[in-house]
Amino acid sequence: MITKNGTRAIDATLRARGLRLTRQRRIILEVVRATDAHPTAAFVYRPRVSLATVYRNLRTLAAEGFLVERADASGVRFDGNTAPHDHFTCVACGRIYDVAARADLAVPARLAARTGFEILNHRTEFYGRCAACRRHGGRSPVKGQRRS
């Protein structure tokens, strides 16, 4: 749940950019920030708010820096954690976990020096089997979850 002070800060930021913190935007932001599941728009969707409205508002909130939009093989997901961090994706169950970012600034600096690229940002993705799936012999412990 977004606190009253948090709501005021978000509202002020949006208003400064010519936008409003509508009821739909507040609900969508609360849903994404309340989970660490890196939800899709379909997960965020609630009755009385069209799916198109959910997509549009998720993209707006991401563009304004309140969420992070991330594409992967399963589609577009949204992350309520906007602090720098990496991800681990379980190839058995599909769950995405936040992991602390490694502060190795030498890699982007070497790449920039070698290629002439201007590195603005980077992300590291790890893939493997989570602890729960490893305990269950590579199968997802949750019925109905996908397997590789």
Q: Where are the domains of the chain?
A: 4-79, 85-135
**CA-to-CA distance for 41 and 59, rounded, in angstroms?**
10
Which amino acid is located at 140 in the chain? Answer: S
- High-pLDDT (> 70) share of the chain, %: 89
pLDDT in tens, 36-48: 999 999 999 988 8
**Full-model pTM:** 0.79
Give the domain 4-79 fold: Arc Repressor Mutant, subunit A (1.10.10)
pLDDT reading at 110 higher than 60: yes
Confidence of residue 7 (pLDDT cuts 50, 70, 90): confident
CB 11 within 8 A of CB 20: yes
CA angle (116, 122, 125) in 5-degree steps: 135
Render pLDDT for 94-109 as a digit per residue (tens, 0 to 9).
899 999 987 777 888 9
pLDDT tens sequence across 45-100 = 988 889 999 999 999 999 999 999 998 888 899 999 999 899 999 999 989 999 99
The reply to whether 85-135 shares the fold of 4-79 is: no
CATH of 85-135, one of 3.30.160.40, 3.40.50.150, 3.30.1490.190, 3.40.50.300: 3.30.1490.190
